[in-house]
Chain A
Amino acid sequence: MSQASPRGALASAVASVAGALAALSCCLPLGPFLLAAGSAGASAFLLSLQPYLIAFSAVMLAAGFVQAFRARQCTRRRRALNLAVLVCSTALVAAMLFGYVPASAPAGQPALAAFHLDSFRQAFNAAADHTRVVVLLSPT
């Protein structure tokens, strides 16, 4: 059986980081920068790909671990580098999967709230003296 290349482990780990960063960019305020550059379409593209990028990151992370553990000809320095990249990758993917940070609302708006029909009806009626607009949207 051929031994796994340490370069492959490193590539998998780097690919995982790249996938993680691409997916994470949907949570980080990259969208506004893209919008500022007139690239709203690019932001929507990343948002719609987010689950797939996360899945890809997880698969690449697993492959990186397998290759890192199978590699036996690594120098100590390269093993340390692989380990560092894998740890960073794992931390990033874990942060994406389990550390979801609620969206921060734009300045002057209340924070994004969980919807409860009765509470919403009360808020709707409380503003009955004014014109109201109701919009239903999908995040992606």
Chain B
Amino acid sequence: MLRDVRDPNLRVFVIWEPVLITDWHAPGTAAVERLPDTRVTQFWDSGRSLSQSIRHGRIVWDYVALFPAGVHWEAAYPPPQFSGAPVVRVIDDFRRRLTE
């Protein structure tokens, strides 16, 4: 999908987190290499702290959010312009918003 977005200044933060019983360690190279775009930065959030920041008490995963330029994260996680989960279901809407 990122191949369709030509904006070189786009920043993509990919946060891997343990959700399933099989997520017993950080993602291996095979997983990380699924996102071979230089605009991507990848993290391993073993404590699911970002998920807790987005929705306290719930696990947020297989989730994508879009923030336009100018949005700052102050005290709380800022409301995205668009967000959704699971990714496979929202990817078309997401792509449309991203390329608008």
Contact = CB atoms under 8 A, between A and B. Distances in A.
Interface of A: 26-32, 35, 43, 47-51, 100, 102-110, 112-115, 117, 120-121, 123-125, 127-140
Q: Closest 8 CB pairs between A and B?
A: A31-B30, A108-B38, A115-B45, A139-B27, A106-B36, A115-B43, A138-B19, A103-B32
Interface of B: 7, 9-38, 40-47, 49-51, 53-54, 60-73, 80, 87, 98
A132 B11 CA distance: 5
A117 B7 CA distance: 26
Highest count of chain B CB atoms <10 Å: which of A104, A105, A109: A109
11 contacts: A28-B30, A35-B34, A51-B22, A100-B25, A104-B29, A108-B38, A123-B41, A128-B72, A131-B67, A133-B65, A139-B26
